[in-house]
């Protein structure tokens, strides 16, 4: 990102001891109330931050204010590995051009990705198209700094963002089931801890960051812990049946599945298993494509190697 754009954001808030005019004034007043608004141009575009004149043709704007965001999309970004004193954050962050949903323009702001090591590289999940939301200060004064920074959309799972979080999870699960419908097991590698999460959820449960790097895993794994069930289950071959946490080879988290092909009292922690798939012509977008996991002829994995996954 050009440095010209960076200086723009620094001078935009400015302190505003002078009159800001009705358009910017409205924008800042709404900001103080925790809302992002843009102004509609005569041509129908929504400008954020608003200006009194349409930069495209110099015509006055309509004066119709439109609430936008709060969620937005990163259009471009520039990583700041060593923030200066004058920067809004005291740890590595990105300057990002963010287009709030419903706006036709983007605003420049700091994007906090939870990176604390000075000099660190940008996290791999920082990408154009990333969904972010503003983090408002509790005490607001009517300045662009009322937004402390933007943060990745899915890392906040408190009530107001719950819906978006589920949508993200839904997309990842959709993709996972698409893989399953082709006989492939897909996971996401976390850009922070490097672990592969399967089935992928769109975020790392350990780090709370969004995940998108797809990794295909084999259908073999290790039983980390299990339960013997004596109540009939429509998915199970017979009673008693075994449900187990299975750590697929290469995965960083175990997944829950049935284990069959062995008497329930012979299932053990560390046992090596492989997925038993239904016939291909019965495959759909469902986990039922994998009937269960069955033991394979490999030595058990020592408990020490799986103790962190039980």
Q: Contact region for Zn ion (CB under 5 A) — 16-24, 93-101, 168-176, 186-194?
A: 186-194
Virtual CA dihedral for 248, 254, 257, 262, nearest 10 degrees?
60
Establish if 190 lies at the interface with Zn ion (CB under 5 A).
Answer: yes
Report the residue number, 39 or 192, with the smaller CB distance to Zn ion: 192
Cβ distance to Zn ion smaller for residue 37 or 204: 204
164 binds Zn ion, rule: CB under 5 A: no
Residue of 157, 193, 288, 310 that binds Zn ion (CB under 5 A): 193
Q: Choose the stretch contacting Zn ion; rule: CB under 5 A; options: 166-174, 190-198, 233-241, 284-292.
A: 190-198
Name residue, tokens 């709030």: 100
Candidates 61, 192, 223, 271; binder of Zn ion (CB under 5 A) is 192
> How many residues at the interface with Zn ion, by CB under 5 A?
6
Place of tokens 């039922």: 288
Edge-to-edge strand list for the sheet holding 36-40: 46-47, 36-40, 65-68
- Please state the closest distance from residue 116 (CB atom) to Zn ion, in A: 15
Of the pair 5, 157, the CB lying nearest Zn ion is at: 157
Q: Which is nearer to Zn ion, 70 or 210 (CB)?
A: 210
> Binders of Zn ion among 194-233, rule CB under 5 A?
204, 206-207
Neighbour tally for 138: CB within 10 Å: 6
User: Any long-range contacts for 132-138 (C-beta under 8 Å, 24+ apart)?
Assistant: 132/71, 132/72, 132/73, 132/74, 132/96, 132/98, 133/69, 133/70, 133/71, 133/72, 133/161, 133/164, 134/36, 134/69, 134/70, 134/109, 136/34
Nearer to Zn ion, 190 or 217 (CB): 190
Label residue 109 exposed, middle or buried (CB < 10 Å: 0-12, 13-18, 19+). Answer: buried
Taking the complex as a whole, the smallest distance from the CB of residue 207 to Zn ion amounts, in Å, to 4
Which CB atom, from 283 or from 309, has the smaller least distance to Zn ion? 309
Residue 4: half-sphere exposure toward Cβ, Cα within 13 Å:
1
Instruction: Give the nearest distance from C-beta 155 to Zn ion in angstroms.
Output: 11
What is the closest distance, in whole angstroms, from the C-beta atom of residue 206 to Zn ion in the complex?
Answer: 4
Q: How many CB atoms lie within 10 A of CB 216?
A: 12
Report in angstroms how near the CB of residue 305 gets to Zn ion at its nearest: 20
Min dist CB 254 to Zn ion, Å, is: 15
In angstroms, give the least distance from the CB of 194 to Zn ion. 7
What is the torsional sign of CA 189, 194, 198, 202? negative
Cα-Cα-Cα-Cα torsion 292, 298, 299, 301, nearest 10 degrees, comes to: -50
Quick check: 198 and 229 in contact, CB under 8 A?
no
Residue 192 or residue 244: which is nearer to Zn ion going by CB? Answer: 192
Stretch that binds Zn ion, among 24-32, 117-125, 151-159, 193-201 (CB under 5 A): 193-201
Closest approach of Zn ion to the CB of residue 187, in Å: 12
The residues facing 197 across adjacent strands are 188
Tell me how far apart the alpha carbons of residues 55 and 81 are, in angstroms, rounded to a whole number: 33
Question: Which range of residues in 4-12, 99-107, 184-192, 258-266 is near Zn ion by CB under 5 A?
Answer: 184-192
Q: In the complex, which residues of this chain contact Zn ion (CB under 5 A)?
A: 190, 192-193, 204, 206-207
């Amino acid at each position: 990102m050009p440095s010209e754009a960076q200086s723009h954001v620094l001078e935009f808030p400015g302190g505003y001891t002078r009159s800001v005019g009705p358009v910017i004034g409205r924008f800042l007043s709404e900001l103080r109330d925790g809302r992002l608004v843009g102004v509609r141009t005569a041509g129908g575009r929504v400008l954020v931050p608003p200006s009194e004149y349409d930069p495209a043709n110099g015509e006055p704007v309509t004066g119709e204010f439109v609430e936008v965001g709060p969620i937005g999309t990163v259009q471009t970004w520039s990583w700041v590995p060593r923030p200066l004193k004058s920067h809004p954050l005291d740890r590595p962050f990105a300057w990002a051009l963010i287009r709030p949903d419903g706006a036709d323009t983007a605003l420049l702001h700091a994007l906090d990705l939870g990176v604390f090591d000075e000099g660190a590289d940008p996290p791999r999940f920082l990408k154009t198209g990333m969904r972010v939301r503003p983090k408002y200060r509790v005490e607001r004064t009517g300045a662009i700094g009322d937004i402390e920074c933007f943060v990745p959309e899915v890392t906040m799972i408190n009530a107001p963002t719950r819906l978006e979080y589920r949508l993200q999870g839904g997309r990842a699960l959709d993709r996972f089931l698409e893989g399953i419908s082709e006989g492939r097991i897909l996971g996401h590698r976390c850009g922070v801890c490097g672990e592969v999460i399967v089935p992928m959820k769109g975020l790392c449960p350990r780090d709370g960051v969004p995940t998108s790097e797809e990794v295909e895993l084999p259908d073999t794994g290790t039983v980390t812990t299990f339960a013997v069930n004596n109540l009939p289950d429509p998915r199970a071959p017979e009673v008693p049946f075994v449900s187990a946490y299975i750590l697929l080879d290469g995965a960083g988290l175990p997944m829950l599945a049935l284990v069959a092909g062995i008497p329930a009292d012979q299932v053990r922690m560390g046992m090596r298993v492989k997925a038993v798939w239904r016939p291909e012509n019965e495959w759909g977008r469902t986990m039922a494509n994998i009937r269960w996991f069955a033991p394979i002829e490999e030595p058990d994995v020592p408990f020490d190697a799986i103790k962190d996954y039980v």
